[in-house]
């Protein structure tokens, strides 16, 4: 009996000892977890504080670097590369300058708008840019060909006066076929000579008492009158309408044709019909 009781008491004491060990280990585990949480929170707070303090000093050095930056260096042109030079504006060539009125024989009075350079077939050419306002046309003439095409300056006032005096003279009509006379008139109109153009106006003019002009005569008369009135208007600084009135006033002062001249005119009319018939025959052939 005493032995059984001793054993029971020994077992009870052993169980209590093991229970106390278990409780102690559990308390240690809890303590370790609490410590890890504390260290994690401290680490997080330390990192936040460090990040806040590290951001502030980075702004000022960047500004200093920007101020101290050197100006950009211009690129140096490579050897052999073509550098385009600014084009020079040409204002005068061959005695003609921009803005000046000139006479081009085939078209009459025009104004030089500019002098430009163009490359044609690999060759550089200088060109007069001439504008004919009434014809709504722009013409480009090489500066080197001015003499060949007959381009000239406006007539002097003394020459204009001489042309106006020519209008008061007696008409000189040759007794030849109209086709030949028409060619002569066209050549005078396109010559650019103001006195020769005045002769065409004088010879083709018809007063109210004289027979009307034929269609071809009227065409040549109006072409010559237009060329003459344009140049007179620019030289005298008047309108073309005023220039035409001055021309017609001079024509009205011309002597009337006598009976002999009228007979000659009728003969010219017969020759004109023959000339027209010959022209039709040539076209048919």
Dihedral, 19, 22, 27, 31 alpha carbons, nearest 10:
170
- What contacts 182, CB < 8 A, 6 or more positions away? 216, 220
Please provide the size of the chain in residues.
285
- CATH code of 157-284, in short, is 1.20.58.1290
Domain 92-153 has CATH 3.90.550.10: no
Q: How far apart are CA 35 and CA 46, in angstroms?
A: 16
Q: How far apart are CA 100 and CA 113, in angstroms?
A: 8
Residue 82: CB atoms within 10 A of its CB come to 6
Per-residue pLDDT reduced to its tens digit, 55-67: 444 444 444 444 4
Q: How far apart are CA 240 and CA 230, in angstroms?
A: 6
Q: Name the DSSP class of 152.
A: E
**Angle, helix 259-284 to helix 178-189, in steps of 10 degrees:** 90
Percent of the chain surpassing pLDDT 90: 44
Q: Which contacts (CB < 8 Å, 24+ apart) does range 210-213 have?
A: 210/257, 211/265, 211/269
Residue 145: CB atoms within 10 A of its CB come to 13
The pLDDT value given to residue 142:
92
The pLDDT value given to residue 158:
95
Give the CA count within 13 Å in the CB-facing half-sphere of 213.
Answer: 14
The pLDDT value given to residue 37:
52
Q: Which residue has the tokens 């060109």?
A: 127
Residue numbers of the chain with a pLDDT score lower than 50:
1-4, 6, 8, 13-15, 17-20, 22-27, 29-36, 38-68, 257-285
Q: Name the DSSP class of 104.
A: E
> For the chain, what are the domain ranges?
92-153, 157-284
- What contacts 131, CB < 8 A, 6 or more positions away? 110, 111, 113, 137, 138, 139
Give the CA count within 13 Å in the CB-facing half-sphere of 251.
Answer: 20
The pLDDT value given to residue 209:
80
């Amino acid at each position: 009996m005493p032995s059984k009781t001793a054993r029971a008491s020994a077992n009870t004491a052993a169980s209590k000892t093991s229970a106390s060990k278990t409780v102690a280990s559990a308390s240690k585990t809890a303590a370790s977890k609490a410590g890890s949480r504390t260290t994690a929170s401290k680490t997080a707070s330390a990192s936040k504080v460090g990040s806040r303090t590290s951001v502030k000093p980075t702004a000022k050095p960047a500004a200093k670097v920007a101020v101290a930056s050197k100006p950009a260096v211009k690129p140096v042109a490579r050897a052999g590369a073509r550098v385009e030079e600014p084009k020079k504006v040409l204002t005068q060539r061959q005695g003609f300058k921009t803005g000046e009125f000139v006479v081009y024989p085939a078209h009459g009075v025009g104004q030089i708008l500019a002098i430009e350079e163009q490359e044609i077939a690999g060759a550089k050419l200088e060109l007069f840019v001439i504008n004919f306002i009434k014809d709504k046309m722009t013409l480009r003439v090489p500066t080197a060909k001015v003499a060949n095409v007959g381009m000239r300056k406006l007539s002097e006032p003394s020459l204009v006066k001489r042309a106006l005096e020519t209008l008061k003279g007696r008409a000189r009509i040759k007794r030849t076929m109209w086709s030949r006379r028409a060619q002569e008139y066209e050549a005078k109109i396109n010559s650019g000579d103001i006195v020769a153009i005045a002769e065409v106006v004088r010879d083709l003019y018809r007063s109210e008492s004289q027979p009307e002009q034929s269609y071809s005569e009227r065409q040549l008369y109006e072409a010559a009158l237009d060329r003459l009135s344009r140049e007179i208007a620019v030289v005298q600084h008047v309108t073309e309408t005023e220039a035409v009135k001055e021309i017609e006033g001079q024509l009205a002062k011309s002597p009337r044709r006598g009976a002999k001249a009228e007979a000659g005119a009728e003969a010219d009319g017969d020759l004109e019909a023959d000339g027209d018939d010959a022209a039709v025959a040539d076209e048919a052939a």
